[in-house]
Every structure is written in structure tokens, then in C-alpha cells.
Structure 1
Amino acid sequence: MASSTIKGVNHRIGAIALAPIRLVMGVVDVPLRWLQKATGLNGMAAFFLAPNMLIFGVFVLLPLVINFAYSMTGGTALFLDHRIFVGAEQYHRIFACEDHLKPNTCLEDGFWIAVRNTAWFVLVQVALMIAIALITALILNRELKARSFWRAVFFFPVLLSPVVVGLIWKWILQRQGLLNFGLYQVGVEPYVWLTDRFWAFAAAVGVSVWAHMGFYALILLAGLQAIPRDIYEAAEMDGTSKSRIFWRITLPLLGPNLLVVVVLALIRAVQVFDEVYVLTGGGPGTSTMFLTQYIYETGFASTLRNPGLAAAASILMGAVLVALTLLQLAAGRRNEQKGAR
């Protein structure tokens, strides 16, 4: 008797709490029903997509158009209506080189130094990122004790702000940092890691891999768990070696996930900025000056800022990213078609 009374009271409280929501939904339902009758299901889909497309247009497409307009102007003024139209002069300035492989022969040597550094960073960082993420995913896919805990540990750096990541590793690698303290305790002379060109670049690569590897490992782990166990059991019954299983079964079936990881890792590597800027500031010299930092300093931080030149550089970077992404997607589709045959 008491339980039925409690249920009745809870039901009445729930009905009272939901009454305003039901009233609002009833009012909204009338025009939506009319819209569905007038436009059909396709019209309703367009209606619900319209807010997202509006946000995408305002915050993505419109800035792209404005950025392209800036790249056709010159001067140091910030507002577009105060700038002078110069056509393709900024692009000509970027490509004015005797030898593009020798930045010191270019009019904008800083741009080509940043391009060279970024290219090396992408090659090294993406290769290490994919290799380490794949090894981590393979290990986490096995039957381990406290497997959920280890997955959380590897994913935790992804949750940190890039600025926090840079500050943590700067505290570790600076002259009086944690690493040198540990070396001093075992009798090794401290070393200035962040003022050596090689070690500063290596630190930029290592910190970036540490900060983002968990995200890509999670994608690959999801792909590994989607592979049916029956395939592995059949291969083991046939006496197939573990290395052959990996190369002939795991990697091909993991191909779509690997393609996603490669595309995302490449885009992130080209756009690297936050953690490296906090860690090294682009130094020593220009050894860790990457393309995004060049664009930022040229457009905003430099005393002789040139927003038009920065905009032109960002347009070129975006075009290269689109081209690389399309090439990778085309290669992925070609491999899928070969596999289907």
C-alpha cells in the first residue's frame, strides 16, 4: 500500500515537472508538422542541418574568404578597409627565391626556414606517432591486468591543454629542471637541452608525440577490437606465424583506421604550434620555428607586422594540407578497390 502511494506521488511530481516541456514541445510541433507536409523528409533534414551549416559558414567559410582577401592586400593596417590592394604581390614575395632549397637565397627566408623545419617535423613526428600508437594499441588489445587503467594512463595526456603540456616539459628539460636534477644525482653533468638545436628539435617531436599519441592509439585500438577473433583462430590452426598474421591479417584489416590516423596526424603535425611555442619559443635560433609560428609572428607579433603576407602563407599551407589529404584518401580508396578484387 505504501509503495503504491509513493509511486503515485512520484508519478504526479514527474507529470508536473514535465508539463512545461510538453507545452513547449506541443507549440513547436505544430509548425514542424506543417513544414514536414510542405517539404517532405528532405526538407526536414535541410531544416535541422541549417543551424550547423550557418555556424560552419560564419566561423569557417567566411574567415577563409576574408583571409584570401587579406592575402591580396599590403601594409601594416589591421582592418581590411584600411589596407591597399596589391594583387598577388604577397605570393610573389614568398616565392621570390634563387633556390627554394636554400632559404638564405629567398626574399622571405623566414618562410622557407619554417617550411623546411615543418617538413622535417612532419616526417619524423608522424612516423614516430603512428609506430608508437600502433605498438601501444597492440599491447592494450591483449589480455592485461588492469587494462582499463593502462588505457586511461595512455589517453590522459590528450586531455591536457597544449600550453600545460609545454610548461610541464619545459620544467623538466630546462637547465635547472627535473631531468638535469636526476642526472646530477647520478653524477652526470647537467646539459642545456633546450638551447641545443638538435635536442630542442628532438624535444619538440617527443613532446608532441607524448601529448597526442593516446588519441591515435585509441582509434587503432577500436579497429583492432573490430577484427573478428575467428580469423585469428583460423590462422593459428593453420600454423601461421605471428609475424605473418600481423602483416597479412592485422595490418590490411586495420587499413581504414590507419588511414584516418595518418590524415589526422599529418594535419595536426603541419599545424603544430602551442606546445612547441611554449617549450622552445621557436629557438634556439630558428631550429624549431614552424609554419604556424611564422604566420602568427608575421601577422601579429612582429614589430613590422604584415597581415597580408601571413594570410598568403596560411592560404598556401591550407592548400598543401588539402592536396595531401586528397592524395591519401585517393590512395586509401585504391587500396580498398584492390582488396575488393
Structure 2
Amino acid sequence: MAVPKKRRRARLPFAGVAGWIGGAVYVVYALIMNVVDAVFGPLQRRFGFRNMAYFFLLPNLAIFAIFVMFPMALNIYYSGTGGTALFPQDRTWVGLDNYHQIFSCGNYLDPNTCREDFFWRAASNTVVFVVFQVGGMVLLALLTAVVLNREIVARGFFRSVYFYPVLLSPVVVGLIWKWILQRFGLINGVLGHLGYDPVLFLIETPWPTFWVILVSIWAQMGFYTLILLAGLQSIPPVLYEAGQIDGASRWQSFRSITLPLLMPTLFVVLVLSLIRAVQVFDQVYVLTGGGPGTSTKYMVQYIYETGFAAQIPRRGMASAASVLLGGVLLIATLIQLWLERKTQVD
């Protein structure tokens, strides 16, 4: 009886190469781990396992201190100096003179009575922008999130469509809408084809302010809609079922179930949108340049032009304005956090 021959296994053509690459990767990995163990092993034996977290935090804390804390401290120092010199050691210490000049006003509601009238014009424009932009965007984002949370046709498509503008940079958003709204832009081209006179959307007031707010809402609403949508999906459906059993209408369910449970997420959206709205600059600068006149010039643009773009830069004044802006943001954020805690306790 013939003994069957053993069948040889077919060798893959790249098996040897794959094994060599795997071995090389393992050698590199082992070498790196040995170096790490040589560095952190004695530290762990000296300070203990629990305290090793601080050594891993040190690089992040160092980067935070160098690129955040040090510039903040330097900015506060600059706010108390004057002159046109760039380096701190060459600047003249003037104390609170920059702040005194900012607050030298006959009537704070009338920028023409202020020594630093452009500051107060930018401040008033920023307040108007924040109120309408944040209020309108949060309301539209909430309505959009409620609609997208329901079972509708092509829900995934609409979610991606609303989020798409967030992926564009503010400069690109400004250029796109400037092409649409300018004198010979898309909208005026359509109006001219229909026999209407062109509308100077970026020149005639109050159109520039309206379009700046609308474009900002369009560009950022998708991000906050996504946050609110996540908050809506975290609400247990059994609560709505219980409301339906009790005979609650959609509005009653929204007012008594959705809003109270969504309030923490709404506070997060308010804080983030407020900080971003106060710091608006690049998108508006590309779209209107702050015009016509100073109607769309906001605080960050004032700081930029005062400290960098002016023929005679006033870095001390720009630093003082930025310190005041940061203080207002801090106070507004603390108030919102306090209201959030009070609401949760109630």
C-alpha cells in the first residue's frame, strides 16, 4: 500500500518580508520602551506610582505656561506702558493712563463724547452683534436639533448638510459671501436679470450688520446644533411615552421634559457661542473690513488695528482693551456658570 506524500504548504510570496518588517517594528518598539523604562523607572521607584501622573503633566503645563500664561502676563504689563517701542524694556511705564483714557467719557452711550471713541463704537457694535448673533443662533440651532432628532426622510443627509459650513475656515466663509453679496455678486446678478436695481448689501446701512450676523449664524450653527442634538438623544424616550399617556401635547412635552433636561447642554452652548461671538474678527474683516465707516468694526478688529495696523501703533492701548475684553468675558462666563448651577439646584 502506497504511503501518500505530504503536501507542501504554499508559501506566500511576501511572508518573509512581512516577518522581517514585524521583527524590525518589534525591535524598535522594544528599544523605545527600554529607553522610557530607563528614564521613568528610577522616578517611579523614587516618587511612587501615584505621583508619576505629575511628570506626564509637566510637558503640557510647560507648554500652557509658555504659550498662554506668559503672553497673558506680558499683555497685562503692556497695558500699563506707553510709547511705540516693541520690546518691554524699551517701553515707558504709564500705569493706569491707558485705562483712564478709555473711560474718559461724557456719556458712555455716546461714543462722540469719549476720548477713545473708536473703542466705544467697537464695544457697542460688539454688544449688538453678540445679542442678536448668539440669541438667533441658539434659537435656530435648538429648532434644527429638535427637527433632526425626529424620524424624517434623509435625516443623515440633512445632519451633514447643516454641519458642512463648520468645516470651512472663517476666511473662506467671508470670501464666499462677499462674492454673493457684493455690487456685481450673485444676488445682484439675479436681481438685475429680473429687472431690479442692485442693492448695496455691504455698503448701505443697516444691511452690513444684518448680513454679518446672518453669515456668522450660517457658518457656526451646525456645530451647536450637533451639541444640542447629542443632548436631545441623551433624554430617555420613556419620559415622552409617559407624557403621551398623561395626555401631554408636543408643546407641553417640549416645555416640561425637553427644556429642563436640555438646560445643561444649552448653558454649554451659550458659554461657547458667547466667547466665540465676542472674539469675532477674521470673517467680518474679510466680508466688510469693518465698514461702512465703523458700523461693523468689533472689539478684536479695534485691538488689531490699534496695536498692529495703525501707522503709529499704540500697543499699550490695544493691550488695555484686550484686558478689558478678557475681563468682561470672564465675568459673563462666571455669571452663566452660576446660573447653570442655580438652575440645576432648583
- Same structural fold, with TM-score higher than 0.5 when normalized by the shorter chain: yes
Residue aligning to 2:309: 301
% identical aligned pairs: 53
The offset of 1:2, in angstroms, is: 4.1
The offset of 1:33, in angstroms, is: 3.0
**d(CA) in 1 for partners of 2:51 and 2:200?**
63
- Once the two structures are superposed, the pairs formed by residues 21-32 of structure 1 within 5 Å of their partners are 21-32=29-40
The offset of 1:48, in angstroms, is: 1.1
Query: How many residue pairs get matched?
Result: 338
The offset of 1:8, in angstroms, is: 7.2
- Could you say what secondary structure the match of 2:120 adopts? helix
The offset of 1:139, in angstroms, is: 1.5
Q: Does 1:208 align with 2:242?
A: no
Residue aligning to 2:148: 140
Residue aligning to 2:172: 164
Q: Does 1:218 align with 2:226?
A: yes
- In the alignment, which of 207, 231, 238 is matched to residue 230 of structure 1? 238
The offset of 1:102, in angstroms, is: 0.9
**d(CA) in 2 for partners of 1:7 and 1:175?**
64
**d(CA) in 2 for partners of 1:272 and 1:233?**
43
**d(CA) in 2 for partners of 1:145 and 1:18?**
50
Residue aligning to 2:87: 79
Q: Does 1:326 align with 2:322?
A: no
Q: Does 1:48 align with 2:56?
A: yes
Q: Does 1:248 align with 2:237?
A: no
- Could you say what secondary structure the match of 2:108 adopts? coil
Residue aligning to 1:154: 162
User: How has the CA–CA distance of structure 1 residues 215 and 137 changed in structure 2, closer, same or farther, with 3 Å as cutoff?
Assistant: same
The offset of 1:196, in angstroms, is: 1.3
Residue aligning to 2:5: none
Residue aligning to 1:188: 196
- Could you say what secondary structure the match of 2:207 adopts? helix
RMSD of aligned Cα (Å): 1.7
**d(CA) in 2 for partners of 1:132 and 1:40?**
52
Instruction: For 1:175, give the aligned amino acid.
Output: R
User: How has the CA–CA distance of structure 1 residues 73 and 185 changed in structure 2, closer, same or farther, with 3 Å as cutoff?
Assistant: same
- The one-character-per-residue Cα deviations of 1:230-277 (angstroms, maximum 9, x if unpaired) are 111121122111001111111111111111100000001111001001
Q: Does 1:94 align with 2:102?
A: yes
**d(CA) in 2 for partners of 1:257 and 1:162?**
25
Scaled by the length of structure 1, what TM-score is found? 0.95
**d(CA) in 1 for partners of 2:271 and 2:250?**
28
Residue aligning to 2:290: 282
Q: Does 1:199 align with 2:207?
A: yes
**d(CA) in 2 for partners of 1:56 and 1:229?**
42
- In the alignment, which of 102, 105, 113 is matched to residue 105 of structure 1? 113
- The one-character-per-residue Cα deviations of 1:105-129 (angstroms, maximum 9, x if unpaired) are 0000000000100001000000001
The offset of 1:38, in angstroms, is: 2.3
The offset of 1:41, in angstroms, is: 3.9
- The one-character-per-residue Cα deviations of 1:144-180 (angstroms, maximum 9, x if unpaired) are 3332222111111111111111011000000100011
Residue aligning to 1:310: 318
- Could you say what secondary structure the match of 1:325 adopts? helix
Bigger proportion of residues as helix: 1
**d(CA) in 2 for partners of 1:7 and 1:283?**
65
User: How has the CA–CA distance of structure 1 residues 37 and 157 changed in structure 2, closer, same or farther, with 3 Å as cutoff?
Assistant: same
**d(CA) in 1 for partners of 2:9 and 2:154?**
45
Structure 1 stretch displaced more, 187-196 or 286-295: 187-196
Scaled by the length of structure 2, what TM-score is found? 0.94
Q: Does 1:59 align with 2:67?
A: yes
Instruction: For 2:236, give the aligned amino acid.
Output: P
- The one-character-per-residue Cα deviations of 1:4-49 (angstroms, maximum 9, x if unpaired) are 9789755564233222112211221233233223223442111111
Residue aligning to 1:292: 300
User: How has the CA–CA distance of structure 1 residues 2 and 111 changed in structure 2, closer, same or farther, with 3 Å as cutoff?
Assistant: farther
Instruction: For 1:260, give the aligned amino acid.
Output: V
- Could you say what secondary structure the match of 1:181 adopts? helix
- Could you say what secondary structure the match of 1:144 adopts? coil
The offset of 1:213, in angstroms, is: 0.7
User: How has the CA–CA distance of structure 1 residues 315 and 42 changed in structure 2, closer, same or farther, with 3 Å as cutoff?
Assistant: farther
Residue aligning to 2:133: 125
User: How has the CA–CA distance of structure 1 residues 103 and 33 changed in structure 2, closer, same or farther, with 3 Å as cutoff?
Assistant: same
Structure 1's unaligned 5+ residue stretches are none
